[in-house]
Amino acid sequence: MVYEQAFTLLKEFTMLRRFPEEYRRNLPARIRDHQRQRKVMEHVHHKPTRERHYDENKSTRYHDQLLHERFENITPEQVANIVANDFVGSNPALQEALSKPSPSTGKLPTMQFDLFATDNPKMDSKYGLHDLFSPVFGMNKRGKLGLLTVTSGISNNPNTIRVTPDMALSIEGRRNRHIHPDLPEKFALREVASPSIATERARPMMPPAPTSPPEPEQPEYELPEGMPPIPPAIPPAHVPAMIERWLASQGDGVQAKSQPMDLAWRLLKGCC
């Protein structure tokens, strides 16, 4: 435990405990699963809307920092994307508000939430000390949310929806009803499956293809010497009677008076 706490301090970026413990514990595996299977998030695009603008703001406001060892080879942006996707997927009112112009401003609103804390904050001449990592998302031209910028703590922008997990009992929510009347002060948060998983689960089970019943084993009959071959169209059940009739015909001299094809034709007519 002591080692883990020391390592967390060295890593500098630590995910806030206002997120449920189980949710935080599952995030690294979920992100790696997205990377491995190249899954697409339903509500969030994987790249910032204006990547250069985002990178400049991030470098201005934060030192180059890593995450806890559980998030090894995972970036803060990847964590922010999947958390934003979960927030929107868990709250239909939030999704609706982000896709329509706000009545107070006439513009599409943005969404912001606090994600990480750092023990190595950076002073910004305009916005002050940045000890929280708070990503800001907005709707892009693809109809998905994309990272716009990152700042620290509460935004003063009247068009920004402040998103706080409903599990954050000690943290007060922020009124968002001026943007949309159905927006709460705190938001539900649950893991949202990617479209590929959801589609696979929703796909109806197809009935197994019907299998043809096995053909009954055909009894093998040994034809008497001199008897013409039995035509393939003759049902096996008729063969014994044909053999008996042929054997009986031998006593009447039928074979001596008939050619083999003529005999086969007479046998065929006699059994069918």
Amino acid 195: pLDDT: 65
Look at residues 196, 191, 198, 195 and name the one whose alpha carbon lies nearest to residue 25: 191
Would you say residue 150 has pLDDT above 90? yes
Least confident of 95-104, 109-118, 129-138, 245-254: 245-254
Q: What single letter denotes the amino acid at residue 73?
A: N
Which of residues 97 and 172 earns the better pLDDT score?
Answer: 97
Neighbours of 80 (CB within 10 A): 22
Would you say residue 7 has pLDDT above 70? no
Q: What is the mean pLDDT of residues 90-106?
A: 91
Amino acid 38: pLDDT: 84
Amino acid 224: pLDDT: 76
Band (pLDDT 50/70/90 cuts) for residue 219 is low
pLDDT tens column, 234-263: 777 777 778 778 777 776 554 444 455 555
Which residue(s) pair with 124 in the sheet? 128
Q: What single letter denotes the amino acid at residue 233?
A: A
Burial (Cβ within 10 Å: 0-12, 13-18, ≥19) of residue 91: buried
Amino acid 202: pLDDT: 42
Amino acid 3: pLDDT: 46
Would you say residue 170 has pLDDT above 70? no
Judge whether 145 and 138 are in contact, CB under 8 Å: yes
Judge whether 228 and 264 are in contact, CB under 8 Å: yes
State how beta strands 110-112 and 128-139 pair.
antiparallel
Percent of the chain with pLDDT over 90: 38
Look at residues 74, 86, 56, 244 and name the one whose alpha carbon lies nearest to residue 148: 56
E strand or H helix at 139, and its extent?
strand 128-139
Band (pLDDT 50/70/90 cuts) for residue 120 is confident
Please compute, for residue 41, the number of CA atoms within 13 A of its CA located in the half-sphere on the CB side. 29
Would you say residue 49 has pLDDT above 90? yes
